[in-house]
Structure 1
Amino acid sequence: MRDIIDTHTLPVSGSVHIAGKMTRDSGGYDEGYLSSDCFWGASPGSLVKSFLEERRDLSGVRVLGLGCGEGKNAAAFARSGASVTAVDCSAKAIENGRRAFQDPRIEWLVLDGRAYLSRDELFDVIVLYGLAHCLSSPEEISSLIQTALQRTRPGGYHFLVSFNDGPHDLSAHPNFSPMLLPHSFYVDQYEGHTILTESDSIIHETHPHNNIPHFHSLTRLLVKKVL
């Protein structure tokens, strides 16, 4: 049975490299980034928060945040001592994040996440929050996840959060057509690896730029890559 979780997004009062952008509609978030200093707030996502509560010192750990938005998860990892590369296709999101989270352990990049994965680099943690459902096909999403796994060190972790094919109210995102795939699709992408946390839930939220209450069905996975 799908869980129902109420969460409300409220506004809160390194160097940048620019190259490339996503080709699919971003969900109208640039409007939100332009109207709010920190559209997504400062608190990390629930999976990241729980993970970091159990791991206080991440010195020496390399983290990659793909589709990082304004970097609330990147900032949380950096506060724990990790070295973080935060990547998003929105220059405004990165501008907001760099201003809100002034941590020298974060490298901010305006870049398509898929393009970044073409680099031959390895990370201990890769965070895929809200990126998969912005791609154009199941094949692109599968390729993103499998390439990200290749860029993850053995024993490393993946955080994946994506809209799935459950109920949605997209009234707050009139120009957005997300790719909605079954929860099981995402679980299947990690066959052979260890799924530490798995949930299929409905979140209720209101964004600060339009104050329209709405909801989404969300897949959340925390996965450990098998050696």
Structure 2
Amino acid sequence: MTRDSGGYDEGYSSSDCFWGRSPGSLVKSFLEEHPDVRGIRVLDLGCGEGKNAAAFAQCGASVTAVDCSAKAIENGQRSFPDPRIEWLVLDGKAYLTRDELFDVIVLYGLAHCLSSSEEISSLIQTALLRTRLGGYHFLVSFNDGPHDLSAHPNFSPTLLAHSFYVEQYEGHTVLAESDSIIHETHPHNNIPHFHSLTRLVVKKVR
């Protein structure tokens, strides 16, 4: 499903917790407003080492954390040993072929790893089918704004307009939306760089 790992396995191998332990900003804000999520099912698709999965689990949710990188899952199981998290080494799109429903689906950093707009649209629409009415999507993806990919020399992400992602959720309620640039440095190479990001929180209403 992905064209390239983006060099993340190298990072996972060189760091115990490559992405850190704090959840993404959208997940953090949601859990501050909804600190008790006992009884809900969460799917963290393309979970990396599972910092978002762990945040939901710590608040009581039952979480399935899926990533195609065995090393990422290994790090996650070691860093976040929570019995409420089911860890799976599996392609994200393949997982969505299962006939299961979730209250929350987290799509952090997965969409831009796919090879085309058609694949990305299919991923989002299938994820919507696997989401209960009234459930939520948390989507974060590179978009077609400015990028410095010097820290990822072998990675060629699919860069689509911010509006493309918003349009995928036509007919649903967009609760939070931003198009911004982030600056970061990864621990395995210490190269400062930046990315343009789309961030969305969406409630399924139909």
Same fold (TM over 0.5): yes
Partner of residue 121 from structure 1, selected from 97, 100, 108: 100
Name stretches of at least 5 consecutive residues in structure 2 with no aligned partner. none
Give, as a single letter, the amino acid of the residue that structure 2 aligns with 1:152: T
Q: Distance in 1 between matches of 2:195 and 2:41?
A: 31
Q: Distance in 1 between matches of 2:28 and 2:169?
A: 22
Three-state SS of the structure 2 residue aligned to 1:199 is strand
2:129 is aligned with 1:150: yes
Q: Distance in 2 between matches of 1:28 and 1:209?
A: 10
Q: Is the CA contact 2:47–2:108 (under 8 Å) kept in the aligned structure 1?
A: yes
1:34 aligns with 13
Q: 1:23 deviation in Å?
A: 4.3
Name stretches of at least 5 consecutive residues in structure 1 with no aligned partner. 1-21
1:102 aligns with 81
Q: 1:76 deviation in Å?
A: 0.1
Q: Distance in 1 between matches of 2:65 and 2:46?
A: 8
Per-residue deviation, residues 129-160 of structure 1 (Å, max 9, x unmatched): 00000000000000000000000000000000
1:47 aligns with 26
Question: TM-score of the superposition, structure 1-length normalised?
Answer: 0.90
1:3 aligns with none
Per-residue deviation, residues 138-191 of structure 1 (Å, max 9, x unmatched): 000000000000000000000000000000000000000000000000000000
Q: 1:24 deviation in Å?
A: 1.5
Residues 33, 94 of structure 1: alpha-carbon distance in 2 compared, 3 angstrom cutoff: same
**Superposed counterparts of 1:38-187, under 5 Å:** 38-187=17-166
Number of residue pairs aligned between Structure 1 and Structure 2: 206
Give, as a single letter, the amino acid of the residue that structure 1 aligns with 2:43: L
Q: Distance in 2 between matches of 1:56 and 1:119?
A: 29
Three-state SS of the structure 2 residue aligned to 1:198 is strand
Identity score, percent: 88
Three-state SS of the structure 2 residue aligned to 1:147 is helix
Per-residue deviation, residues 193-216 of structure 1 (Å, max 9, x unmatched): 000000000000000000000000
Q: Kindly report structure 1 stretches of 4+ aligned residues shifted beyond 3 Å.
A: none
Q: Distance in 1 between matches of 2:113 and 2:6?
A: 8
Partner of residue 184 from structure 2, selected from 198, 205, 220: 205
Give, as a single letter, the amino acid of the residue that structure 1 aligns with 2:8: Y
Q: Distance in 2 between matches of 1:23 and 1:200?
A: 23
